C-alpha cells in the first residue's frame, strides 16, 4: 500500500469513526410510531394533526396553552393591554433564534401572524377585530384592535387547526394558499431533512441552541426541556406491526394504538397504556356544502337521522369503555357541552331521513366518500357510516387511499369528478372542538371555513355573540342559541366521542398532558 493510500484510509476511518461517535446513545433516541405519515410540512396550510405535531416540534408561538387550555406566554416575555383594551403590546423574550442562527424579530412575528389569520378558523376570527399589526421595534409587536377582544392570548396560543407558529419573515411572506417547504423554525427540535424518508421515517434532532423558559412544563406551556438527542417517527400503518414493535422494544411510544389491540399490549408488563389528554376526541361525518345534495340542509339533516352513533362508535372504536354517545358539537362534559336543539337526532329515524332526502332533490346520484385504512378508526367508522346511509337511499362509494392522499384531497374544492368529494369521516381533538371559537367544523364563514365550506350568516352572527359575551352567564346563553342553530344547519354530523390512549415502554416517562402529543420533557431510561 502506498503512503497516499494509507493516508486516505486513515482519513476515511477517522471520518467513519467520527460519524459513529456522533450517533446518540440508545437511551437518547426516542422512537415513536405516529398515527400517520408526514406529508405536509407547513402547519399554517394544513390542519391535520400529524402536521400540527410536526409544527410544534420545530416552531414556537407567542403564547401556548397549558394542560387546562389556559394561554401562557411562550415566545412572549411581556404582554401589556392598554386601558381601553384596544392595544396589545407583546415583547419577545431573549435568546430566540431560528435554526439558521438568525434572531427572531418582530418582523417575523408580524408576517407570520398575518399569514395565519388568512388561513385558520381562530385566526380569521381574530382578524375581524384587528385594525393593525405592527413591529414597534426589533423585539416588540403592537396588535391594535377595532374593539376589545379578551381572547387574544388564547388565539395566539392556539394548538388547534392551523397553528400561529412564527416563521422567518421570508417564509411567512409565501402566499397563504401555498405550502412553505422550508422547515427553519426556532423550536426545541430541528427537522432532519436528510434523513426524512416519506412513508418510512421522520427524524428530529435536539436544537442545541434552544433556550427554554424557566417555568416547569405544563401542557404546551412552560419550559420545553429536551431530554433526548433525537426523536424518530417510524411510519407503521399496520397496527399489528406497530404492536409487535412496541412489545419487542423497537419503538418506545405508539401514539395511537388500535383499540382492538389495547388488551393485547396491556398484558405486557413492560408496556403502559394511558391517556395523554383529559378531553375526549370527536368523530364526525363532514359533508361538502358546495355541491348537491349537501348544499341543502335537508340532505344534511338526513345524514344525522340515518347514522347511528352507537353502531359507528362500536365499529370504529370497539370497547364501549373508550367511547360514548354525544350530540354536542362542543364535547359533552365540557363547559360548552350543550346538546340544545339536537333532541330529534339522538337516535336514527330512517323514515324521516328518507323523506328529507327526497325533499332535498337527491335522486340516487353517486356520492364519493374518500377514506383510509391507515388510521383504522377512520376506515372502520366510514364503512359503518356508508352502510347506515345506504339504508335510506344514499348511493355511497367508498374510495380508499393512504391518509396523506385523503387529507390532501379534502382541500380540493372541485366536484367529485374533478378530484373532489361529497363527504368524509374524520375525528378531531376535544381541545379543538370544545369551544365555539376553535371548533373548525362549526365555522360557517363560507370560503374561509374549514374544508366542506359551510356558509350561514346566522351561525356566524351567533358565534360572534359568544365571543363578545361580557360574562359567563351571557356566554352560556349565547352558546346554547348557537347550538340550536347548528342543529338546523348540521355543518357536520357528530358521530360520538372517544378517549384515545397511547402506549409506551415502561422506561419512558414524563409524557405531557397536552392537546397533541409532544416530545420535549420526555425521558428514556
pLDDT tens, position by position, 19-34:
444 678 888 999 999 9
Question: Does 270 share its domain with 407?
Answer: no
- Given this model, what pLDDT does residue 97 score? 98
Q: Strands, E, within 276-334: which ranges?
A: 281-287, 323-324
- Judging by beta carbons within 10 Å of its beta carbon (0-12, 13-18, 19+), is residue 84 exposed, middle or buried? exposed
In a domain, 24, yes or no: no
In a domain, 182, yes or no: no
Question: Does 457 share its domain with 318?
Answer: yes
Question: Does 140 share its domain with 167?
Answer: yes
- Given this model, what pLDDT does residue 275 score? 86
In a domain, 181, yes or no: no
In a domain, 3, yes or no: no
Which stretches of the chain drop beneath a pLDDT of 50?
Answer: 1-21
Q: What is the spatial distance between Cα 518 and Cα 418, in angstroms, rounded to a whole number?
A: 37
- Given this model, what pLDDT does residue 22 score? 61
In a domain, 141, yes or no: yes
- Given this model, what pLDDT does residue 278 score? 83
CB 222 within 8 A of CB 236: no
DSSP string, 363-375: -S-EEEEEE-SSS
Give me the domain span that covers residue 413: 281-498
CB count in 10 Å sphere of residue 262: 16
Question: Does 153 share its domain with 101?
Answer: yes
In a domain, 419, yes or no: yes
Question: Does 362 share its domain with 326?
Answer: yes
Question: Does 241 share its domain with 295?
Answer: no
Question: Does 362 share its domain with 471?
Answer: yes
Q: Which CATH number goes with the domain that contains 219?
A: 3.40.190.10
Question: Does 494 share its domain with 346?
Answer: yes
Q: Which CATH number goes with the domain that contains 67?
A: 3.90.76.10
Question: Does 202 share its domain with 292?
Answer: no
427 HSE (CA, 13 A, CB side): 29
Question: Does 288 share its domain with 266?
Answer: no
State the chain's maximal CA–CA distance in angstroms: 90
Cis peptide before 293 (omega within 30 of 0): yes
Q: Of 140, 172, 204, which closes a domain?
A: 172
In a domain, 178, yes or no: no
In a domain, 58, yes or no: yes
Q: Which CATH number goes with the domain that contains 471?
A: 3.10.105.10
Predicted model pTM: 0.79
Task: Give the model confidence (pLDDT) of 159-195 as tens digits.
Answer: 998 999 999 999 999 999 899 999 999 999 999 999 9
Question: Does 393 share its domain with 471?
Answer: yes
Provide Rg for the chain, Cα atoms: 24
- Given this model, what pLDDT does residue 1 score? 41
SS3 at position 355:
helix
Write out the three cell numbers for 46: 394544513
CA 432 from chain centre, in angstroms, equals: 8
Q: Of 172, 206, 225, which closes a domain?
A: 172
Question: Does 259 share its domain with 318?
Answer: no
Q: Provide the number of structural domains found in the chain.
A: 3
Amino acid at each position: 500500500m502506498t503512503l497516499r493510500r494509507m493516508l486516505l484510509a486513515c482519513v476515511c476511518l477517522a471520518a467513519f469513526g467520527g460519524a459513529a461517535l456522533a450517533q446518540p446513545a440508545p437511551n437518547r433516541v426516542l422512537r415513536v410510531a405516529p398515527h400517520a405519515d408526514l406529508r405536509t410540512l407547513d402547519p399554517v396550510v394544513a390542519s391535520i394533526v400529524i402536521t400540527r405535531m410536526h409544527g410544534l416540534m420545530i416552531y414556537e408561538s407567542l403564547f401556548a396553552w397549558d394542560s387546562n387550555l389556559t394561554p401562557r406566554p411562550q415566545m412572549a416575555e411581556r404582554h401589556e393591554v392598554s386601558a381601553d383594551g384596544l392595544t396589545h403590546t407583546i415583547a419577545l423574550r431573549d435568546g430566540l433564534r431560528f435554526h439558521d442562527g438568525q434572531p427572531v424579530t418582530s418582523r417575523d412575528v408580524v408576517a407570520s401572524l398575518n399569514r395565519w389569520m388568512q388561513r385558520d378558523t381562530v385566526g380569521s376570527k381574530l382578524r375581524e377585530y384587528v385594525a393593525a399589526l405592527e413591529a414597534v421595534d426589533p423585539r416588540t409587536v403592537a396588535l391594535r384592535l377595532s374593539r376589545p377582544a379578551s381572547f387574544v392570548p388564547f388565539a395566539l396560543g392556539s394548538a388547534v387547526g392551523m397553528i400561529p407558529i412564527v416563521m422567518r419573515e421570508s417564509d411567512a411572506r409565501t402566499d397563504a394558499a401555498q405550502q412553505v417547504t422550508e422547515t427553519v423554525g426556532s423550536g426545541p427540535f430541528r427537522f432532519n431533512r436528510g434523513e426524512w424518508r416519506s412513508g418510512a421515517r421522520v427524524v428530529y434532532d435536539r436544537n442545541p441552541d434552544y433556550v427554554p423558559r424557566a417555568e416547569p412544563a405544563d401542557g404546551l406551556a412552560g419550559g420545553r426541556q429536551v431530554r433526548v438527542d433525537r426523536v424518530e417517527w417510524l411510519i407503521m400503518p399496520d397496527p399489528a406491526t406497530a404492536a409487535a414493535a412496541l412489545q419487542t422494544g423497537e419503538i418506545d411510544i405508539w401514539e395511537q394504538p388500535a383499540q382492538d389491540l389495547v388488551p393485547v399490549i396491556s398484558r405486557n408488563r413492560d408496556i403502559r397504556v394511558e391517556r395523554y389528554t383529559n378531553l375526549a376526541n370527536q368523530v364526525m361525518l363532514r359533508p361538502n356544502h358546495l355541491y348537491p345534495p349537501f348544499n341543502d340542509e335537508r340532505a344534511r339533516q338526513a345524514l344525522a337521522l340515518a347514522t347511528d352513533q352507537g353502531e359507528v362508535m362500536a365499529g370504529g372504536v370497539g370497547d364501549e369503555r373508550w367511547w360514548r354517545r354525544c350530540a354536542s358539537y362542543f364535547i359533552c362534559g365540557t363547559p360548552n357541552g350543550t346538546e340544545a336543539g339536537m333532541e330529534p337526532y339522538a337516535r336514527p329515524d330512517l323514515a324521516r331521513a328518507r323523506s328529507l332526502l327526497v325533499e332535498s332533490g337527491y335522486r340516487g346520484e353517486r356520492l364519493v366518500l374518500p377514506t383510509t385504512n391507515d388510521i383504522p378508526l377512520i376506515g372502520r367508522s366510514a364503512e359503518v357510516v356508508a352502510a347506515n346511509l345506504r339504508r335510506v337511499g344514499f348511493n355511497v362509494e367508498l374510495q380508499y387511499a393512504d391518509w396523506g392522499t385523503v387529507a390532501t384531497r379534502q382541500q380540493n374544492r372541485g366536484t367529485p369528478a374533478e378530484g373532489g368529494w361529497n363527504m368524509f369521516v374524520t375525528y378531531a381533538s376535544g381541545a379543538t372542538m370544545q369551544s365555539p371559537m376553535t371548533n373548525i367544523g362549526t365555522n360557517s364563514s363560507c370560503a374561509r371555513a374549514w374544508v366542506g365550506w359551510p356558509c350561514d350568516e346566522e351561525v356566524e352572527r351567533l358565534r360572534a355573540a359568544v365571543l363578545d359575551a361580557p360574562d359567563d352567564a351571557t356566554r352560556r346563553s349565547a352558546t346554547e342559541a348557537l347550538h340550536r342553530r347548528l342543529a338546523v344547519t348540521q355543518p357536520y354530523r357528530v358521530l360520538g366521542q372517544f378517549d384515545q390512549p397511547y402506549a409506551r415502554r415502561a422506561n419512558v416517562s414524563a409524557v405531557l398532558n397536552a392537546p397533541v402529543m409532544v416530545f420535549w420533557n420526555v425521558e428514556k431510561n
